Amino acid sequence: MTETTRKTGVSRRTLLKGTAGLAGLAAGSGAITGFPYVKSADAKVLRYLGTAVNEGDDIAKQCLKDTGIKIEYITATTDDVTKRVMTQPNSFDVLDTEYFSLKKIVPSGNILALDAKKIKQFDNITPVFTKGETPGGKKIGGQGTAPWKVLYLEGKDSKKFATSATEFVTLIPTVYNADTLGIRPDLIKRPISSWSELLNPEFKGKASILNIPSIGIMDAAMVVEASGKYKYADKGNMTKEEIDLTMKVMTEAKKAGQFRAFWKDFNESVNLMASGETVIQSMWSPAVTKVRSMGIACTFQPLKEGYRSWASGFCVSKGVSGAKLEWAYEFVNWFLSGYAGAYLNRQGYYSAVLSTAKAHMEPYEWAYWMEGKPAEKDIKAPDGSLLEKAGAVRDGGSYEDRMGGVACWNAVMDENDYMVRKWNEFIAA
Amino acid sequence: MSEEVLQQASPGLIPGSGTARAAKPTRLSPSFISWLQAGPMMLVFLAFFLIPLAFVVIVSFWDYNEYQLLPHFSGRGYTDTFEGCLAQLPELCTIGKTYLKTLKLCFLVWAITLFIGFWVAYFLAFHVKSKTWQMGLSLLCTIPFWTSNVIRMIAWIPLLGRNGLVNSGLMKMGLINHPVEWLLFSEFSVVLALVHLFTFFMVVPIFNSMVRIDKSLIEAAYDAGASGFQTLVNVIIPLSKPGIVIGSIFVITIVMGDFITIGVMGGQQIAAAGKIIETRVNALQFPAAAANAVILLVITFLIITMMSRIVDIKKEL
């Protein structure tokens, strides 16, 4: 009896100690994420999953006012949005995502294509998406996952992309832009005109590239091609040998100390540039604007090899049906009706339906953002803060020049798995 | 509490409790009561640690494609991870380099936090005489924990940058002509931030061990003619061992799995075991991520097993 008591006493204590130790290990090994979802009692509610790009509070407020639909934002990073579509397709109603992720999302069958006939402005969507050319007729570079390659499905429940227009649209386009390198003209003090400058030893320890493999690899490819080391058949769909070659060039530069840091999110890129840690780096348009609004010279430098572009749009979760699906159509139609487009244009992005956005912008705003003309008056952000003084001209100029100068699009390659492994190798080098 | 438990479990064990036996007959068997007491923690542990861990191990042996897990047996997660390890010999492959770097960072952080943590605990336990001050000063150590560790980490960036406070200070004093580059986005800044974040995890358990050292042992050492250093080495350090090992386990497990601090402070340029997992998860390659998690777990477990070989924590507590 005594013996048993002692034994159990010890084993119980051992058990508790062991558990506490391992629980500590568990707590240390990963952050605990996820919030319980509180369902609202409102009648017309749509859960909107996307990155922060389109998710302005003003847009949600205006939408509620105009349509009575309450938008609940679920904000995540590009990678996390895709992850969520794959693993929790019932946790959202409307999805706002980039075209390149369609190569993963569509085969999973977790999203519902929208019916083009129910989108009022569908015929007014810029030909950038439907034909791969600007409204002025300039052909746009199609390397990578260009939107027009993945815009249509063969049928309602098809998992195959159609080669010609059908009424089943994967993503109704909303926003897109042309990205290039950001530079600090005050610190570089000479003109920059090529992607190859990113690896110029002159900027040793002062360059940066983004550490999101599917975007970073495209910037790397632009650099490799610009420096004349190799010409890709399709930068957005490299062979294993091409991936090896690209990563070899980047690894050598990294080992030589070319890069100050890599960045992963918007604010990191702003801080690197604003603090002078870097003078040349991959960047996004609003990040450049943000650095400039801090009173620091920063240029979104047009380069002769062209821009790397991206685009995103709306679709709905496969779980959405009935009245909710109708609200989703109502919301998408509202989004394309002008207010949101003007809002996005004023941030330096581009809206999918140009005519409606134009109607919601002042003529001087349209001239500055879209026509590349000098600003007649001070240019203000949607929140009213000053972006540019009168007389300023947008980097890269007009819509025609910027979108017409696109060379490639963010991409998911056939060899994506291999590319991600090589990217890890690059980070470890 | 333990005495109470013993009393309830086996009243005959404690002298003078025989009367209690007559008044309160035992209905449940002692071992059952023990299990009942350990039960809730065990269930939590089972549900939130063991079962998820089992899933990770299972998934690590699955196959995958661009958009889904393929639930049939495949060692691809592992073979991909060790890709080129044989072909590249004698040069290290990605995974080898990554672990070497992670272990190096881990060792540096461990050694520095141990050194600082030990002396802070020593000061608190032996030099601060009043209990109130001991309490007050140890609470002071927790103040940095009132903000999130991301903020504590990011706070270093304006300090260490090319045009940061340290560099501009040194330049004004005329000590350097050009900004020192290795202060930020380097192994130095990673180690600095990790030490800053985790020294406290060393202080607490070591302090806890030290305050439990019987003061008369130290007096005895002094009476026997031991110098301060001899007392430290022969009395205090051996008796603080459990605290040292527990603190070390905290620091090592956290640093081995860290990818955020290493990412931010290393400018995303330094490889870490946790970073590989993050990249794989982001690319939706869950089995490969799970395989890397299993590898990390095994290595961390080996380190901890080695440490508990040196000190038997179960015995010491």
Taking Cα atoms as reference points, which of B223, B226, B240 lies closest to residue B126? B240
CB of B253 within 8 Å of a chain A CB? The answer is yes
Q: Are residues A280 and A168 in the same domain?
A: no
* 3-class state of residue B215 by DSSP: helix
**Nearest-by-Cβ selection for A211 from B41, B83, B268:** B268
Q: A21-54: b or e for each residue (b if 16 or more CB lie within 10 Å)?
A: bbebbbebbeeeeeeeeeeeeeebbbbbbbbebb
- The topology (CATH level 3) of B91-316 is MetI-like fold (1.10.3720)
Distance CA B253, CA B250 (A): 6
Cβ atoms of residues A404 and A423 within 8 Å: no
Is residue A8 domain-resident?
no
Nearest CA in chain A to B6: A5
Q: Which chain A residues touch B31 with a CB distance below 8 Å?
A: 4, 8
Question: What is d(CA A209, CA A204) in angstroms, rounded to the nearest whole number?
Answer: 13
Nearest chain B alpha carbon to A85: B67
Q: What pLDDT is recorded for position B316?
A: 63
CB A403 within 8 A of CB A178: yes
Average pLDDT of A377-389?
Answer: 87
**B312: which DSSP letter?**
-
Q: Is residue A86 part of a domain?
A: yes
* A82 close to B (CB below 8 A): yes
Q: Which residue of A has its CA nearest to B198?
A: A28
Q: Are A204 and B162 in contact (CB under 8 A)?
A: no
Do A146 and A208 reside in the same domain of the chain? no
- Are A276 and A422 part of one and the same domain? yes
- Give the whole-number percent of chain A exceeding pLDDT 90: 70
Whether residue A286 sits in one domain with residue A201: yes
Residue A62 covered by a domain = yes
Of A2, A21, A268, the CB nearest to B249: A21
User: In a 3-state reduction of DSSP, which class is residue B69?
Assistant: strand
A4 touching B, CB under 8 A?
yes
List pLDDT tens digits, range A113-155.
999 999 999 999 999 999 999 999 999 999 999 999 999 999 8
User: Which residues numbered 41-70 in A keep a CB inside 8 Å of some CB on B?
Assistant: none
Residue whose token pair is 């070497």: B100
Note the pLDDT tens digit of each residue in A20-75: 444 444 444 434 444 444 444 457 999 999 987 778 889 999 999 999 999 999 99
In this prediction, residue B130 carries a pLDDT of 86
Tell me, what DSSP letter sits at residue B163? Answer: T
Residue span of the structural domain in which A352 resides: 45-178+310-364
Same structural domain, A144 and A207? no
- Domain shared by A114 and A256, yes or no: no
* pLDDT for B280: 87
For B257-296, the pLDDT digits (tens) are 999 899 889 998 898 999 889 888 888 889 999 999 999 9
Secondary structure of residue B184 in the 3-state scheme = coil
Residue numbers of B between 24 and 63 with CB closer than 8 Å to A: 30-31, 34-35, 37-38, 41-42, 45, 48-49
- Two tokens at B178? 């050009």
What CATH number has the domain bearing residue A342? 3.40.190.10
User: Hunting for tokens 């870097």 — which residue is that?
Assistant: A278
Domain boundaries, chain B: 91-316
Task: Give the pLDDT score at B25.
Answer: 60
CA distances to A12, A13, A287, B37 from B30, rounded to whole Å, are 11, 14, 66, 11
In a domain, A20, yes or no: no
Distance CA B97, CA A217 (A): 22
pLDDT for residue A296? 92
Q: Would you state the torsion angle of the CA atoms of residues A300, A278, A421, A148, taken in this order, to the nearest 10 degrees?
A: 0
SS3 letters across B239-250: HHHHHHHHHHHH
A32 and chain B in contact, CB less than 8 A: no
Residues of chain A in contact with residue B277, where contact means CB-CB under 8 angstroms, are: none
| Interface contact A367, partner B, CB < 8 A | no
The runs of H, that is alpha helices, within B46-142 are 51-60, 76-81, 94-122, 131-142
> Mutating which of B80, B105, B182, B282 best tests the A interface, going by the most A Cβ atoms within 10 A?
B282
Of the candidates A108, A112, A114, A102, the residue with the CA atom closest to the CA atom of residue A87: A108
Residues A170 and A188 in one domain: no
A29 contacts chain B (CB < 8 A):
yes
Residues of B in contact with A421 (CB under 8 A): 80, 83, 94
Cα separation, A334 vs B104, whole angstroms: 56
Inspect the interface and report whether the beta carbons of A275 and B162 lie closer than 8 Å.
Answer: yes
The B residues from 259 to 298 touching A (CB cutoff 8 Å) are: 263-264, 266-271, 275-276, 279-285, 297
Measured between CB atoms, does A207 come within 8 Å of chain B? no
Taking CA atoms, what residue in A is nearest to B2? A9
Which residue is listed with tokens 């020049």?
A401
Does residue A325 sit in the same domain as residue A287? no
Asked if the Cβ–Cβ distance from A105 to B281 is below 8 Å, we say no
Assigned domain for A67 exists? yes
- Same domain, yes or no, for A166 and A248? no
DSSP state of B91: S
Size of interface A-B (CB pairs under 8 A): 152
Pairing assessment for the beta strands A172-179 and A350-351 based on DSSP bridges: antiparallel
> A181-183 and A299-301 as β-strands: parallel, antiparallel, unpaired?
antiparallel
Q: Helix axis angle, A416-428 relative to B94-122, nearest 10°?
A: 50
Residues of A in contact with B34 (CB under 8 A): 8-9, 11-12
Q: Which residue has the tokens 């070591």?
A: B206
Is the pLDDT higher at A16 or at A276? A276
CA–CA distances in Å: residue A50 to residues A54, A81, A354, B7, B197: 8, 6, 22, 60, 33
Report ipTM (2 d.p.): 0.74
Cβ atoms of B300 and B253 closer than 8 Å: yes
pLDDT in tens, chain B (317 residues): 444 444 444 444 444 444 444 555 667 888 888 889 999 999 999 999 999 999 999 999 999 887 788 888 998 889 888 887 888 777 788 888 899 999 999 999 999 999 999 999 999 999 888 889 988 888 888 887 888 878 888 888 889 988 889 999 999 998 888 888 899 999 999 999 999 999 999 999 999 999 989 889 989 999 999 888 999 999 999 999 989 999 999 999 999 999 989 988 999 889 899 988 988 888 888 999 999 999 999 999 999 898 888 777 776 66
Q: Is residue A28 part of a domain?
A: no
Question: A5–B10: do the CB atoms touch at under 8 Å?
Answer: yes
Question: Mind listing the pLDDT tens digit for each residue in A94-108?
Answer: 999 999 999 889 998
CB-based contacts of A149, cutoff 8 Å, min separation 6: A142, A161
Q: Are A182 and A292 in contact (CB under 8 A)?
A: no
- The verdict on a CB contact (< 8 Å) between B67 and A86 is yes
Residue A100 — φ and ψ, nearest 5°?
Answer: -65, -25
SS3 label, residue B154: helix
Count of domains forming chain A? 2
Which of B79, B81, B269, B285 to mutate to probe the A interface, most A CBs <10 Å? B269
Among left, alpha and beta (phi > 0; psi -120 to 50; other), residue A348 is left
The per-residue pLDDT for B23 is: 53
Report d(CA A329, CA B304) in Å as an integer. 56
The enclosing H or E element of B155 equals none
